[in-house]
Amino acid sequence: MTKQLNEKQIKQLVNAYVEFKRAEDAWKQLKAELTDDLEPGRYESEYGRVIKNTMKKRLTNWKSLIENHPELDVDAYTEVKDVTAVTVTNLNTKTGLFS
């Protein structure tokens, strides 16, 4: 697997990433405006469905747990998995090409 990316492909990825981030920001803002004060329930129209639920979620602060209990062997509960990450960064912020 030695495929390389050329200038055009990198530009395509960065352009798509910038568009994605804009859409994500617009989505988050609109979602907050329309649903932050929304009563929990199911809302439907011919266009789609919105369901808002509230629940309690239990989160464990693993860092504090390990710091407060160094006697625990966390390695016994740790898995090693292969993970692939792709990071796209817009380096052309001065010219406005993608802004």
Q: Which helix (H) or strand (E) holds 17?
A: helix 7-35
pLDDT of 87 above 90: no
AA identity, residue 96: G
Asked whether 98 and 92 are in contact (CB, 8 A), the reply is yes
pLDDT of 95 above 60: no
Q: What is the token pair recorded at 13? A: 């990825």
Residue ranges per domain, the chain? 7-77
Per-residue confidence (pLDDT) for residue 2, from 0 to 100:
64
- Rounded distance, CA 52 to CA 23, Å? 21
Residues 6+ apart with CB under 8 A from 39: 52
Asked whether 20 and 13 are in contact (CB, 8 A), the reply is no
Asked whether 35 and 18 are in contact (CB, 8 A), the reply is no
- pTM score above 0.85: no
- Rounded distance, CA 99 to CA 90, Å? 10
pLDDT digits over 35-86, tens only?
Answer: 999 999 999 999 899 999 999 999 999 999 999 999 999 888 899 999 888 8
- First vs last C-alpha separation in the chain: 33
